[in-house]
Chains A and B, each alone.
Chain A
């Protein structure tokens, strides 16, 4: 599985102290513009040994021009499109527009909410820690999501 991260999940999970257990336990490719974006906000987040810096060069696939993507999203999705034929891929992203692009291009995508719930279900973190991290996402985690949506995820933690 090739996992490719946009800046959002790295930053959100770092801000709610969840990066160590919520990011998938494997190598995660971070393309150069995304690396620089994270570095601008939280350089320390990049010390996580799972993160691997990748250089990608334009031009990016033409199909990506249909969406309003920033340079990091464009590079990350461009990299994802190129990797699609080499095996399973997963993009980590919390930006609505980029997620829409992933869906249309049949690229699997998940964001901070899903990563936290998955970490709990995989036994990497206790229920109360996962709950706190989810509820912190819209505040100190700076995730653009309403509390009502976060409660949907919190509820999921108690389901078998």
Chain B
């Protein structure tokens, strides 16, 4: 008897990641549906973009040898 199963995954870097308990054999045909509103990229949380100086300052902090944190 044929039975259809359904699960929900998340797209990460263009690939659908399924829950670990879902094991599909190669060649299985799957149907994918998604919500357009959810798929739209969300706007940045911060008001202003980080500058190159901001990022370089972060990297300088992160690579300082005596850093305790």
Q: Which of chain A's residues has its CB closest to B56's CB? A: A152
Tell me whether A25 is interfacial, beta carbon within 8 Å: yes
Cβ of B33 within 8 Å of any chain A Cβ, yes or no, is no
Within 8 A of A (CB), among B42-69: 42-52, 54-59, 61-63, 67-69
**Count of chain A residues near B, Cβ 8 A:** 45
Residues of A whose CB lies within 8 Å of any CB of B are 1, 3, 8, 11-12, 24-26, 41, 70, 90, 94-97, 99, 103, 108-111, 113-115, 117-118, 121-122, 132, 135-136, 138-140, 142-146, 149-150, 152-153, 156, 159
Q: In whole angstroms, how far apart are the Cα atoms of A142 and B49 in the complex?
A: 11
Determine which of A3, A117, A140 lies in contact with B59 in the assembled complex, contact meaning CB atoms within 8 Å: A117
Contact present for B44 and A114 (CB under 8 Å): no
Kindly state whether residue B41 has any CB partner on chain A within 8 Å. Answer: yes
Is B61 touching A145 in the complex (CB atoms < 8 A)?
Answer: no
Q: Please name all residues of chain B whose beta carbon is closer than 8 Å to the beta carbon of A136 when the two chains form the complex.
A: 13
Taken together as a complex, chains A and B put the C-alpha atoms of A145 and B50 apart, in Å, by 5
B45 CB to closest chain A CB (Å) equals: 4
Report yes or no: B48 in contact with A108, Cβ–Cβ below 8 A: no
Q: Which residues of B contact A118 (CB under 8 A)?
A: 61-63, 67, 69
* Shortest CB distance A73–B (Å): 10
For A92, give the chain B residue with the smallest CB separation: B69
B residues less than 8 Å from A121 (CB atoms): 62-63
Chain B hits for A138, CB < 8 A: 44
Which A residues are in CB contact (< 8 Å) with B56?
152
Across the interface, A8 reaches (CB within 8 A) one of B46, B59, B69, namely B46
Interface-central residue, A95, A114, A143, A146, by most chain B CB under 10 Å: A114
Identify the interface centre among A94, A97, A122: most chain B CB within 10 Å of its CB: A94
Q: Is A142 within 8 A of B44, CB to CB? A: yes
- Chain B residue at minimum C-beta to C-beta distance from A11: B45
Q: Once bound together, how far apart are the Cα atoms of A53 and B61, in whole Å?
A: 25
CB distance from A107 to the nearest CB of B (A): 12
Residues of B within 8 Å of A103, CB to CB, are: 57
